[in-house]
């Protein structure tokens, strides 16, 4: 077994010096995160490690990006357990942790130039969180310029986000290949998320209703019951019964994210989001199931 030392960089200049020293040795794989790491992130790092091979370099960033949080959202209370995250990244055989401060990323305050996520950034999550995807695209564009990876690894958990970032990479010619990794779930189906730790003991079992709604709709579609209205009603009702305040729950086209009208045609993505108490939950399912990465 190759014993690896994990390098931690907090400044762009130190990272770039190291980057030059490993350039050409093997592929550089990059997993951007906001930290508060869980096995969902771990799966992305594992895919990176497998893809990298022994000569490749697996880099993970931890940066809670203020630009993607709206006023009244959870930026200040977002968990930042850096010591625990560092230990997990070592266990997952990460080569590089890039953990810059806000001042390092935004030395002149919020950027005056930003990346416009386009029409996909205006629907669903984008409509409920104005400016969110502009913040996401801008920070990921900066991170791609800084890290200069060969492969970027994103999670299907944030379906709309990975779609917009793929579009950004394509439209702006970033020289990077994008891989989307499947969602890692708790035993009851709840998608793992850093925000799940906000859930109270009473809320936690009810949070699985979002997955129950998605799974039910996927089974209905597979069984040929494809009328949109009853599917939307059933999904919404399953989530409501568990106490969720539903933002949206519906089948959409997996490339345009346009809502399916009247009858579902496959492939489609089932999108669902809502609030349980003060915790926002989002999840999705593709039907038919995608091939594993
Ligand atoms: P975050 O730290 O929440 O910004 O997430 C960082 C990356 O991990 C994003 O590409 C997410 O889509 C991905 N991710 C988050 N939760 C999961 C999960 N449960 N399974 C797989 N990937 C995930």
Spatial CB neighbours of 263, under 8 Å, sequence gap ≥ 6: 226, 227, 228
pLDDT tens by residue, 19-38: 999 888 999 999 999 999 99
Confidence (pLDDT) at 3: 58
pLDDT tens by residue, 173-201: 999 999 999 999 999 999 999 999 999 99
Average pLDDT over residues 281-291: 92
Among protein residues, the one with the nearest Cα to ligand 1's atom 9 is: 155
Q: How far apart are CA 224 and CA 226, in angstroms?
A: 6
Average pLDDT over residues 203-218: 98
Could you tell me the distance, in angstroms and rounded to a whole number, from the CA of residue 61 to the centre of ligand 1?
12
Among protein residues, the one with the nearest Cα to ligand 1's atom 13 is: 155
Strands 151-155 and 96-98 turn out to be unpaired
For the full predicted model, state whether its pTM sits above 0.95.
Answer: yes
CA distances in angstroms from 119 to 134, 153, 161, 272, listed in the order given: 11, 23, 13, 19
Say if ligand 1 is within 6 A of residue 44 CB: yes
pLDDT tens by residue, 128-173: 999 999 999 999 999 999 999 999 999 999 999 999 999 999 999 9
Say if ligand 1 is within 6 A of residue 279 CB: no
pLDDT tens by residue, 68-116: 999 999 999 999 999 999 999 999 999 999 999 999 999 999 989 999 9
Could you tell me the distance, in angstroms and rounded to a whole number, from the CA of residue 66 to the centre of ligand 1?
17
Q: How far apart are CA 39 and CA 127, in angstroms?
A: 29
From the candidates 7, 38, 41, 93, give the one annotated as an active-site residue.
41
Active site residue 41: yes
Confidence (pLDDT) at 216: 98
Confidence (pLDDT) at 1: 43
Instruction: Enumerate the H helices of the chain as residue ranges.
Output: 12-22, 39-52, 82-91, 102-105, 125-128, 132-147, 159-171, 203-206, 209-222, 228-241
Q: How far apart are CA 260 and CA 156, in angstroms?
A: 20
Confidence (pLDDT) at 292: 65
Confidence (pLDDT) at 2: 56
Among protein residues, the one with the nearest Cα to ligand 1's atom 7 is: 33
Confidence (pLDDT) at 293: 62
Could you tell me the distance, in angstroms and rounded to a whole number, from the CA of residue 224 to the centre of ligand 1?
31
pLDDT at 44 over 80: yes
Mean pLDDT, the chain, as a whole number? 96
Confidence (pLDDT) at 291: 73
Q: Are 204 and 187 in contact (CB under 8 A)?
A: no
Q: What does the longest C-alpha to C-alpha distance in the chain come to?
A: 58
Q: Partners of 158 in the beta sheet? A: none
Say if ligand 1 is within 6 A of residue 181 CB: yes
Average pLDDT over residues 241-263: 98
In terms of Cα–Cα distance, which of 200, 292, 220, 293 is closest to 263?
220
Could you tell me the distance, in angstroms and rounded to a whole number, from the CA of residue 237 to the centre of ligand 1?
27
Q: For residue 183, give the ligand 1 atom closest to its CA.
A: 20
């Amino acid at each position: 077994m190759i014993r690896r030392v994990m390098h931690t960089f907090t400044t762009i200049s130190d990272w770039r010096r190291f980057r030059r020293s490993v350039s050409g040795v093997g592929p550089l794989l990059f997993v951007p995160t906001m930290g508060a790491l869980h096995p969902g992130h771990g799966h992305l790092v594992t895919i990176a490690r497998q893809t990298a091979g022994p000569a490749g370099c697996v880099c993970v960033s931890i940066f809670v990006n203020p630009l993607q949080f709206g006023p009244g959202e959870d930026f200040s209370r977002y968990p930042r357990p850096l010591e625990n995250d560092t230990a997990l990244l070592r266990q997952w055989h990460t080569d590089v942790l890039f953990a810059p401060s806000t001042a390092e990323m935004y030395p002149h305050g919020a950027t005056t130039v930003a990346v416009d996520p386009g029409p996909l950034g205006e629907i669903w999550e984008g409509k409920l969180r104005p400016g969110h995807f502009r913040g996401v695209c801008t920070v990921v564009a900066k991170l791609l310029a800084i890290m200069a990876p060969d492969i970027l690894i994103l999670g299907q958990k944030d379906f709309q986000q990975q779609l917009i970032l793929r579009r950004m990479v394509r439209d702006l010619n970033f020289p990077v290949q994008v891989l989307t990794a499947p969602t890692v779930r708790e035993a009851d189906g709840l998608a793992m998320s850093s925000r799940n730790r906000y859930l109270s003991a009473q809320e936690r079992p009810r949070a699985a209703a979002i997955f129950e709604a998605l799974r039910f709709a996927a089974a209905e579609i597979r069984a040929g019951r494809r009328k949109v209205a009853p599917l939307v009603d059933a999904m919404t009702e399953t989530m409501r019964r568990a106490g969720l305040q539903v933002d949206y729950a519906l089948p959409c086209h997996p490339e345009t994210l346009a809502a399916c009208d009247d009858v579902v045609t496959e492939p489609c993505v089932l999108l669902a989001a809502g609030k349980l108490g003060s915790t926002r939950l989002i999840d999705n399912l593709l039907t038919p199931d995608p091939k594993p990465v």
